[in-house]
Structure 1
Amino acid sequence: MIVKLGFLVILGMTLAVNAQLKTGFYSNSCPTAESIVRSTVVSYFNKDPTIAPGLLRLHFHDCFVQGCDGSILIAGSSSERSALPNLGLRGFEVIDNAKSQIEAICPGVVSCADILALAARDAVDLSDGPSWPVPTGRKDGRISLSSQASNLPSPLEPVSVHRQKFAAKGLNDHDLVTLLGAHTIGQTDCRFFSYRLYNFTTTGNADPTINQAFLAQLKAICPKNGDGLRRVALDKDSPAKFDVSFFKNVRDGNGILESDQRLWEDSATRRVVENYGGNFRGLLGLRFDFEFPKAMIKLSSVDVKTGIDGEIRKVCSRFN
């Protein structure tokens, strides 16, 4: 009953985030839309569970450039999708598949931006994370430029820069840490953090914030001059489960990306990490399960296009 009550609170909050978005937006115009998205995500997830963090990241990258308008889905040599920070994104085929199924039943009704927001929610749920009512009603944007991808947070940037970039989207420190908790699932390449192991300072030392035992493990996985494309889990303890162990890793000096570990050094973000990564796993796990949906609803309402401000694409990878 407590959990159900919590989600009723979240549901009430969605209506206040953006008055033009609402849960069940397609209940009359395309009542099977959400179930089609869900079944599509399930189909891909059952074949490859790593698609879950891919879909979550795809939605995050979409919302940080031009807002949550599906602009990341546009293919092209100068589109947002082609920008350097987006080259490793995955899950486009899941969105395209769901869109084609929906178009066959409800042509010109459901936006690609909404399909992506729903797929991200389903990806978290399938990874033993929370579920939540996704407010829908977004239109697809008509602009997608690789040059605008500089808005995306980089793992090389300090917390102060991330704070500015999140604040520009109406997201605070609590949202920042909560959303980065998505790193409890997913992987990264050795090349994106190996400098922390071998050449963090001018003398070639390792990043002193890395737990020494973990440093040895990382060096074994990512040897100097080794394969920079080798994949490493962002959460060393439960990489396929959406839980609070990511925050425990940051607390204990076991963060993989520099930007993740720096959350422990900033006093404001450290307090949030402590709240999620304390010793009372069950209670804090429930708190994260409650806070993450709220942060995702807030993120998914950033600069959305509604009404006449956008379009409903026929194919997600190209403008009409």
Structure 2
Amino acid sequence: MALLIAVLTLVLLVSASTSPAIALSLNHYEKTCPDVESIVAKAVERATMKDKTVPAALLRMHFHDCFIRSGGPTWEVPKGRKDGRTSKASETIQLPAPTFNISQLQQSFSQRGLSMDDLVALSGGHTIGFSHCSSFQNRIRNFNATHDIDPTMHPSFAASLRNVCPIKNKAKNAGATMDPSSTAFDNTYFKLILQGKTLFSSDQALLTNPKTKGLVYKFASSKQSFEKAFVNSMIKMSSLNGGQEIRKDCRVVN
């Protein structure tokens, strides 16, 4: 898990905007900072020992970065992505929402050169982390004119979520983990989809298309297949590029 977090963080150090990859390299920092991988790995490992939510936070941040502007499996990270100089909260509207149906998801991913295979593999990142009630409230109350609860959601699972997220919820951080093994990067997420026990409409939407449904079954039955696909899609998404500079200090523009 520490290595997974480390490579995600390393990508973030050279993050940028969304356009095809430009001159990325596995040894980009070989001369300027040859120990960068080990430095990042150690720093993130220390942070994770203090806070187990760090892996999910980094994965989410990396996904958001690539979509807006630009334990587990390990891989060589192509480095040298250029940082952007602009950050706008309004651009978060470009992110795929947890309420998206399969058509909306496909459009969102295809606009960035990502395929349906990438969509399913990257959705597997939901195997770690936590969600606030607001992201799945639509499924557990007033779902539509016919059903109060989303009929694709397992009844006992829906009941547990309604207890966690009462109507007059006053708990600031109320919500639920993405799956029971939320600190382990595994293929549990895909098994939960088949059981109707995932949080988001966008998760369950993967069963509404023959292509994505087939991949859900494949990844649910084989952790190895999921991890291989996830690595390939992460490298592909990480290669979205188009910034203006590689920062000397990641906290400020050059």
Q: What TM-score, normalized to structure 1?
A: 0.69
Match of 1:231 in 2: 175
Task: Pick from 47, 50, 54 the counterpart of residue 51 of structure 1.
Answer: 54
Distance in structure 1 (CA, Å) of the matches to 2:163 and 2:108:
34
Number of positions where the alignment pairs a residue of Structure 1 with one of Structure 2 = 234
Match of 2:26 in 1: 23
Is the CA contact 1:200–1:207 (under 8 Å) kept in the aligned structure 2? yes
Q: What TM-score, normalized to structure 2?
A: 0.87
Distance in structure 2 (CA, Å) of the matches to 1:139 and 1:191:
34
Task: Pick from 240, 247, 250 the counterpart of residue 193 of structure 2.
Answer: 250
Distance in structure 1 (CA, Å) of the matches to 2:66 and 2:37:
20
Distance in structure 1 (CA, Å) of the matches to 2:194 and 2:220:
7
Match of 1:315 in 2: 249
Distance in structure 2 (CA, Å) of the matches to 1:213 and 1:247:
18
1:188 aligned counterpart, secondary structure: strand
1:277 aligned counterpart, secondary structure: helix
Unaligned runs of at least 5 residues, structure 2: 1-19
Task: Pick from 130, 137, 140 the counterpart of residue 194 of structure 1.
Answer: 137
Is the CA contact 1:153–1:165 (under 8 Å) kept in the aligned structure 2? yes
- 1:259-298 equivalence runs, <5 A: 259-278=202-221, 284-298=222-236
Match of 1:180 in 2: 123
- 1:85-100 equivalence runs, <5 A: none
**Equivalent position amino acid for 2:27 in 1:** G
Deviation at 1:151, TM superposition (A): 1.4
Distance in structure 1 (CA, Å) of the matches to 2:58 and 2:131:
15
| Deviation digits for residues 100-123 of structure 1 (CA, Å, limit 9, x no counterpart) | xxxxxxxxxxxxxxxxxxxxxxxx
Match of 1:12 in 2: none
Moved more, 31-40 or 201-210: 201-210
Deviation at 1:288, TM superposition (A): 1.1
Question: Greater relative contact order: 1 or 2 (C-alpha under 8 angstroms, separation 6 or more)?
Answer: 2
Deviation at 1:19, TM superposition (A): 6.1
2:90 pairs with 1:156: no
Match of 1:7 in 2: none
Deviation at 1:203, TM superposition (A): 5.3
Is the CA contact 1:21–1:136 (under 8 Å) kept in the aligned structure 2? yes
Is the CA contact 1:159–1:262 (under 8 Å) kept in the aligned structure 2? yes
Distance in structure 2 (CA, Å) of the matches to 1:249 and 1:286:
17
Distance in structure 2 (CA, Å) of the matches to 1:139 and 1:19:
9
Is the CA contact 1:141–1:311 (under 8 Å) kept in the aligned structure 2? yes
Deviation at 1:149, TM superposition (A): 2.4
2:37 pairs with 1:34: yes
Provide the identity percentage.
39
**Equivalent position amino acid for 2:41 in 1:** R
2:239 pairs with 1:301: yes
Match of 1:61 in 2: 64
2:92 aligned counterpart, secondary structure: helix
2:145 aligned counterpart, secondary structure: coil
Is the CA contact 2:80–2:246 (under 8 Å) kept in the aligned structure 1? no
| Deviation digits for residues 169-193 of structure 1 (CA, Å, limit 9, x no counterpart) | 1100010010010000000011221
Task: Pick from 200, 220, 235 the counterpart of residue 163 of structure 2.
Answer: 220
Match of 1:118 in 2: none
1:55 aligned counterpart, secondary structure: helix
| Deviation digits for residues 26-69 of structure 1 (CA, Å, limit 9, x no counterpart) | 112210111111111101000011111000110110001120xx
1:232 aligned counterpart, secondary structure: strand
2:131 aligned counterpart, secondary structure: strand
Distance in structure 2 (CA, Å) of the matches to 1:145 and 1:212:
40
| Deviation digits for residues 226-249 of structure 1 (CA, Å, limit 9, x no counterpart) | 2363131011x3111101110000
Unaligned runs of at least 5 residues, structure 1: 1-16, 68-127, 279-283
Distance 1:264 1:228, change over 3 A: farther
Is the CA contact 1:190–1:228 (under 8 Å) kept in the aligned structure 2? no
Is the CA contact 1:184–1:239 (under 8 Å) kept in the aligned structure 2? yes
RMSD of aligned residue pairs (Cα, Å): 1.7
Distance in structure 2 (CA, Å) of the matches to 1:59 and 1:19:
18
